[in-house]
Structure 1
Amino acid sequence: MTLYMPPEWAPHERTWMAWPGPNPTFATPDDLDAARRAWASVARAVRRFEPVTMVCGPGQAASARALLGPGVELVERELDDAWMRDIGPTFVRDTATGRLAAVDWTFNGWGAQEWARWEHDAKVARHVADLVGAPVHSTPLVNEGGGIHVDGEGTVLLTETVQLGPERNPGWTRERVEAEIHAHLGTRKAIWLPRGLTADYPGHGFGTLGHVDIVAAFAAPGVVLVHSQRDPAHPDFEVSREVAGLLRAQTDARGRALDVVEVPAPTALADDDGWVDHSYINHYLCDGGVVLCAFDDPHDELAAGIFRRLFPDRTVTLVDARTIFAGGGGIHCVTQQQPRI
């Protein structure tokens, strides 16, 4: 195969999202209403910069339109949950034809977690690819879009507890996972993080078992953003130190030492359910913009300043992400870019 995943900062054709519907993640009418308002805030922020298409469950388009307004395209398909980064396709370019293509990872509810449902979500990637006429490249690797991050020059970030976890790919070796990832993303070097943030694991509500996009993300070739928990009382103090140290010791696919930019975590350490994994790393880059998680926290503007320095040609927009994080993800998790080919 000759597939290549452009980095997130490359030009987009549009952003894809999924509309929250009744499910275990949004268990009460109040939870569902709050989630819909949060998703709508993200969609409206992204729509300032590029087109947005929202996939809604059957009969859900009217509720979506009421909160989204007229500027967002709506399509109806069966859904279980609302995390388009993970259930949607990973869009790539077929370098042999120069055309858009789509990778359909195998999806099993973030490691077949007991709260998850995925009968419909496992088919969403193909539905979205069909809507844009992109050929689909399916793979037996159980993986999600939030479990990968690329620099566009051959390097991919992965997490041992995701792609190598027994909940997803029992019996797969590191070499087999890397071969499958490289074949579908056009990468040639994988940098493995040992784990994700503490609240992303069982016992802390909804989680993914360690997605990389909440702890580390490329901002440019050779530049990687890292979540930095500065309070020793939080278990992510040690996690983030380990991740930052590991990345500083690494080189990318082109042999460059990585420039590691630590982004301080919000000051809130816990909520009623225990430790929180509030993180500014889970942002979304769109054409001319950065949609950045906000938490009504003193560090929101500190993080915004870091992103403004890194992306001087983009407008940084802060969107309250606390409701999204309560459901198990962030702004990056609810968006999926379709690159402009």
Structure 2
Amino acid sequence: MPTIMPAETHRHERTWMSFPTEGYVLGNTKESRSEAIRMWSSVANAIVKYEPVSMVVDPALESVAKDVLDDGVTTHPFPLNDCWMRDSGPTFVIDHGTNGATTLKAVDWVFNGWGQQEWSAWDKDALLARHVAEEAGVGVIDSSYVFEGGGFHVDGEGTAILTETVALDPHRNPGRTREDIERELHRTLGVNKVIWLPRGLTRDYGEFGTRGHVDIVTCMPQPGVVLFHDQRNPDHPDYQVSRDIERVLSQARDARGRQLTVVPIPAPAQGFEDDGTPTDFSYINHYAANGAVIACTFNDPNDDQAMTVLSQAYPGRTVVPISSKPLFDRGGGIHCITQQQPALSE
């Protein structure tokens, strides 16, 4: 086991985030700007009650960030295009050296704006992972593969869940096969078993989507257990997506040969925008911090039931609900804007 990405529930040294930058996230109005800044800072200020938080901030917004962030949040100036640390930042892993030494390292994936999206710029964000590794004082594992942290989920024991439409996206990894992807995840993350889902949620294939990130459809709160986004409205296009995901997960075994315990978490009841566009609101996109689960809520009839499922899935952790519709309106959720730096030991 030379290199392994620990489960998100492994003790963290800290959480890394990026502060909102000028562009579509902040928007063109005073109200939109305030809403985005309030959203990102509320997540950071909730997490810092449980563990240290490091916030990368574009130098143009340093004074704004310091006005809204808790004094416990450490800021790091660095030029940014965007503010989705899970995707443009590094993936931290624990390296078990042949000499017996255990060190923390950071995987620097190629970042190309979620598969070269026309609306995305990534010249600055492509440099972010290496900068974060330097700030964290850890070595870098280079990869020639395009991956974002929202595109995979691991259990820390050798299992990963992916969607085919992200990992095999021709705008990300052209010409590469399942076997190629699995070999690279074994090399970088210590993955021995990949569970392949066919796709992600419908809204995620729109103009500003990621083409199927896994972290809004399923996650493993503990080894052998998997939560999945259960769309229960037969009129919603994600109803069949949920059925397909449930089927694949129910038939899968993890890296240790265990049949997974598959636990549904209801999709929010508000499944459509006013114009009939399907939403991708999801309780799956939460973040497991030290002693807490920072959870998305939507002022929705299913909020309470979802918080109960999360509380049962993460025994011993406090569920901290944060109203997250402004995040999803901008293309992601709480998990998308956070990235854990694991501690070297539990």
Name the TM-score, length of structure 1 as normaliser.
0.97
Q: Which residue is 1:306 aligned to?
A: 309
- Residue 219 (structure 1) aligned with residue 211 (structure 2): no
In 1: Cα distance, 2:110 partner to 2:189 partner: 15
d(CA) in 1 for partners of 2:181 and 2:317? 35
Aligned residue number for residue 36 of structure 1: 37
Which SS does the other structure have where 1:8 is aligned?
A: coil
Contact 1:18–1:55, Cα closer than 8 Å, also in 2: yes
- 1:144 and 2:144 matched: no
Q: Distance in 1 between matches of 2:143 and 2:33?
A: 33
- C-alpha separation in 1, matches of 2:169 and 2:25: 23
Determine the C-alpha separation between the residues in 1 that align with 2:9 and 2:43.
18
Question: How far, CA to CA, are the matches of 1:178 and 1:314 in structure 2?
Answer: 32
- Aligned partner of 1:282 in structure 2 is 285
**1:272 positional shift:** 4.4
Letter in 1 for 2:190: G
Matched with 2:176 is 172
- TM-score for both structures, normalised by structure 2: 0.96
8 Å contact kept, 2:25–2:36: no
- Alignment match, 2:337: 334
Q: Greater shift after overlay, 256-265 or 303-312?
A: 303-312
- Amino acid aligned to 2:79: E
CA distance in 1, matches of 2:209, 2:26: 14
Q: Is the 8 A contact 1:24 1:115 kept in 2?
A: no
Q: Which position in structure 2 is the counterpart of 1:122?
A: 126
How far apart are the structure 2 equivalents of 1:135 and 1:70? Answer: 28
* Structure 1 residue runs of 4 or more that deviate by more than 4 Å after TM superposition: none
Other-structure match for 1:112: 116
Task: Return the alpha-carbon distance in structure 1 between the equivalents of residues 319 and 185 of structure 2.
Answer: 31
Q: Which residue identity is paired with 1:46?
A: I
State whether structure 2 residue 100 is matched by structure 1 residue 99. no
Question: Which residue does 2:16 correspond to in 1?
Answer: 16
Which string of whole-angstrom CA distances, capped at 9 and with x for unpartnered residues, describes residues 25-81 of structure 1? Answer: 433133232111101111111111101011000131111111113121111001000
> For each residue in 1:95-129, what CA deviation from the matched residue of structure 2 results, as whole angstroms up to 9, or x when unmatched?
11301100001000000111111000011000000
SS of the residue 1:237 aligns to? helix
2:270 to 262, 268, 271: 268
Give yes or no for the alignment of 1:209 onto 2:211.
yes
Contact 1:83 1:334 in 2 (8 A): yes
Q: 226, 234, 237: which is aligned to 1:232?
A: 234
**In 1, Cα distance between equivalents of 2:274 and 2:140:** 42
Counting only pairs closer than 5 Å after superposition, residues 187-202 of structure 1 correspond to structure 2 as 187-202=191-206
The residue identity in structure 2 corresponding to 1:15 is T
Amino acid at match of 2:57: C
RMSD over aligned Cα atoms: 1.1
Task: State the Cα distance separating 1:202 from its structure 2 match.
Answer: 2.3
Q: Distance in 2 between the 1:28 and 1:180 partners?
A: 41
